Amino acid sequence: MKVSGEALMGDQSYGIDMNTAERIAEEVGAAVKAGYEMCLVIGGGNIFRGLQAAAKGMDRAAADYMGMLATVMNALAMQTALERRGVQTRVQSAIPMTTVCEPYIRRRAVRHMEKGRVVIFAAGTGNPFFTTDTAAALRAAEMGCDALFKGTQVDGVYSADPKKDPNAERYDQLDYLDVIARDLKVMDASAVTLMRDNQIPIVVFDIQKTNGLADVLDGRGVCTVVGP
């Protein structure tokens, strides 16, 4: 599941709202208890966005590394919230920082998941000029995930921003190519392409709704499935 930095902000305009992190942890914990193997990729936009800093004149690669470091902070917050609920976790960072968390080692991450631990992937792909959406797609492919869940602030993909346009229409199902060709704001194009190449569905749902994840996993929830 991809959890954007924005989702961790709650009602704040910046940073981590621990109550929101706790609520998301509750949902993840419930899914694990129900028997799902879960791993998370955490964004960093609530703390730092490389592109915005670069627009103000900062070197893009340096700004992106700062963005990746922000995702590590979020990952540690999420780990704390999950472990408070008795969910076993491991944070693995694409940028090694071995005194803080494990480095990303694919086979080790697979093993953690087999043991029922939630692996939280931090530092995106470890490369500048990428996003955590692409990191989520990459990890989903590497870990052999059955689906990539994208938790957003709305309950699926719409023809326009539903918060601005009352006539915006929600889609139940979309083809990967529709999303790319119509530039629908689901995930960035490289993430969608990677999911298409690997035939992994992307499930877009409202992460702010109580039991949102459980409902979608049960097939009762409102969401958009981007798939073949």
Candidate residues 21, 118, 135, 207; the one interacting with ligand UDP per rule CB under 6 A: 135
Instruction: Compute the least distance from the CB of residue 194 to ligand UDP, in Å.
Output: 12
Candidate residues 24, 39, 68, 216; the one interacting with ligand UDP per rule CB under 6 A: 68
Q: Provide DSSP, 130-197.
A: --HHHHHHHHHHHTT-S-EEEEESSSSEESS-TTT-TT--EESEEEHHHHHHTT-SSS-HHHHHHHHH
Rounded to whole angstroms, the Cα distance separating 210 from 219 reads: 15
Of 115 and 131, CB closest to ligand UDP: 131
Q: Give how far Cα 46 sits from Cα of 35, 49, 105, 114, 141, Å.
A: 30, 8, 26, 31, 26
State yes or no: residue 128 binds ligand UDP (CB under 6 A).
Answer: yes
**Helices (H), ranges, the chain:** 5-9, 18-33, 50-55, 60-83, 106-114, 132-142, 176-181, 189-198, 212-218
Total residues in contact with ligand UDP, by rule CB under 6 A: 24
Q: Rounded to the nearest 5°, which phi and psi values hold at 13?
A: -100, -5
State yes or no: residue 151 binds ligand UDP (CB under 6 A).
Answer: no
Candidate residues 124, 156, 212, 221; the one interacting with ligand UDP per rule CB under 6 A: 124
* Contact assessment for residue 39 and residue 137, using Cβ atoms and an 8 Å cutoff: no
- 49 is an annotated ligand-binding site residue: yes
State yes or no: residue 142 binds ligand UDP (CB under 6 A).
Answer: no
State yes or no: residue 156 binds ligand UDP (CB under 6 A).
Answer: no
- 124 is an annotated ligand-binding site residue: no
x/- mask, ligand UDP, residues 31-50, rule CB under 6 A, reads ------------xxx---xx
Of 61 and 115, CB closest to ligand UDP: 61
Per CB under 6 A, residues contacting ligand UDP are 4-6, 43-45, 49-51, 63-64, 67-68, 70-71, 124-125, 127-128, 130-133, 135
